[in-house]
Amino acid sequence: MRTVSDLSELKAVNQNNVELNNKAEKGSAMSGFHGLFIPGPTNMPFGVRQAMDIPLEDQRSPDFPAFTLPLFQDLKKVFKTETGQVFLFPGSGTGGWEASITNTLSPGDRVLVAVFGQFSHLWADLCQRHGLIVDKVDVEWGEGVPLDIYAERLKADKDHKIKAVLCCHNETATGVTSDIAGVRKALDAAGHPALLMVDGVSSIASIDFRMDEWGVDLAVSGSQKGFMLPTGLAIVAVSQKALEASKTAKCPRCFYDFAEMSKANKDGYFPYTPATTLMRGLRASVDTLLGEGLDNVFARHNRLAEGVRLAVDAWGLSLCAKEPKWHSDTVSAICVPKGFNAAEVIKVAYHRYRMSLGTGLSKVAGRVFRIGHIGNINEIMILQALAGSEMAMRDVGIPVEAGSGVAAAQEHFRATAPKIELAKVA
Ligand SMILES: Cc1ncc(COP(=O)(O)O)c(C=O)c1O
């Protein structure tokens, strides 16, 4: 029997499809779902959507802390921190960057940051706009944090002028994952006290991330990727060392102030109106992640990503990520052959096959299209993304063999699927 929420879900899906269909080829009445294969916003689990289909609530009610305090605690498990504190700001990943910088640094402070994609570029730019001195290391797009250069710079900085080391854990523009444990080693080898700040917007809750073990001081995430929610929350985990730094940091801040937030959060409340509906969704998302088990979540992402990588090989194409050590398990940026425009592939996929692929950003615009394999996604959805990509590539004349990528991924998924004994299942 259908429940009321099933029906409202169906109504919402239909409405969404009507709108997407209207935008797509006029006159063709298509059903089914529009495929969302961008690296965020990601596909929301039904249970998460249901958890947010509720009346608005009183954020100052006596029982609100019974909801918020356990949520803060459980979020720490996702970041793998026991000693850190997690803040939930209305905002997005960009707001999380701003919170991390303005709470812990002062204008004129020096930060070390490697730029190897649009998001590492934007974070460096944000630092500059806040009056910090940015020691920028330009790295070829397709590579990640250069551990050797970081180690040299830190060793050479005898006076400890560098106050923070910034790393984009997963550069979403190029599909590159960096070695954060390696950065911690470089800091320790140099005996350097700089804060370690990590952009985990497209890694946390999807790829292995260990805040305490790696000595991360600020870990920034947002709600719309691994947490499988709508955009609207900056989720920032902060170490005790960073909280201490925030007591003397002089960058102006108001909305993203750790101290104000901490004071109210201690009792389960907020200094201003919190995004209560998103937080209800976040509760369901954290339950889903912890219920699956973080290690299983990471393994699922790796398996799906591997299927995409095998498809790319079968197509005879290459990833933007230059070496396997940089391969991202949440997003693959796929280079189209010279003479072709990746934007055309994306456009054709959108209009002819009703699916969204990630676009190439900035330096790699037109050169790559991206498949997001992050969040609430499984092997059949990946096959759908690969099939649509294949069709769109062939439509624009890219000589990939029909079915080749899909077949490569299928065989990988078959070989790695859980074994079942047919006699024992109903
Ligand atoms: C790695 C990374 N950092 C930061 C951001 C910025 O986050 P937001 O768009 O939520 O502000 C993004 C967005 O895609 C991202 O992928």
Could you state, in chain order, the average pLDDT of each consecutive group of 10 residues for the chain (426 residues)? 45 55 53 95 98 98 98 98 98 98 98 98 98 98 98 98 98 98 98 99 98 98 98 98 98 98 98 98 98 98 98 98 98 98 98 98 98 98 98 98 98 96 84
Atom of ligand 1 at shortest range from CA of 122 = 4
Any idea where the domains of the chain sit in the sequence?
31-45+294-416, 49-290
Q: Which CATH architecture has domain 49-290?
A: 3-Layer(aba) Sandwich (3.40)
For the chain, the farthest-separated pair of C-alpha atoms sits apart, in whole angstroms, at 70
Give the homologous superfamily in CATH for domain 31-45+294-416. Aspartate Aminotransferase, domain 1 (3.90.1150.10)
Question: Residue 383 carries which side chain, given as an amino acid letter?
Answer: L
Is residue 41 reached through a cis peptide bond, with omega within 30 degrees of 0 on the bond before it?
yes
The DSSP result for 158-187, as a single string, is TT--EEEEEEESEETTTTEE--HHHHHHHH
Phi/psi for 82 (5° steps) reads -105, -30
Question: Does residue 164 line the site of ligand 1, with CB under 6 A?
Answer: no
Atom of ligand 1 at shortest range from CA of 222 = 10
* Mean pLDDT of the residues in the chain: 94
Nearest residue (by CA) to ligand 1, atom 7, is 93
Question: Does residue 41 line the site of ligand 1, with CB under 6 A?
Answer: no
Q: Which residue has the tokens 């692929």?
A: 357
Q: What confidence score (pLDDT) does residue 31 get?
A: 86
Topology alike, domains 31-45+294-416 and 49-290: no
Cα(230) to ligand 1 centroid in Å equals: 13
Give the whole-angstrom CA distance, residue 142 versus residue 152. Answer: 22
The predicted-structure confidence for 103-143, as pLDDT tens digits, reads as follows 999 999 999 999 999 999 999 999 999 999 999 999 999 99
Cα(395) to ligand 1 centroid in Å equals: 31
Question: Does residue 202 line the site of ligand 1, with CB under 6 A?
Answer: yes
Query: Are residues 202 and 222 in contact, defined by beta-carbon separation less than 8 angstroms?
Result: no
Provide the edge-to-edge strand list for the sheet that holds 368-372. 318-319, 331-335, 368-372
Residue among 201, 209, 329, 370 whose CB has most ligand 1 atoms within 8 A, to mutate? 201
Long-range contact set of residues 257-266: C-beta below 8 Å, sequence gap at least 24: 257/103, 258/87, 258/99, 258/103, 261/87, 261/89, 262/85, 262/87, 265/68, 265/72, 265/85, 265/87
Cα(268) to ligand 1 centroid in Å equals: 27
Which are the contacts of 80, defined by CB distance < 8 A and separation ≥ 6?
209, 210, 211, 212, 213, 294
The predicted-structure confidence for 322-368, as pLDDT tens digits, reads as follows 999 999 999 999 999 999 999 999 999 999 999 999 999 999 999 99
Give the whole-angstrom CA distance, residue 36 versus residue 33. Answer: 9
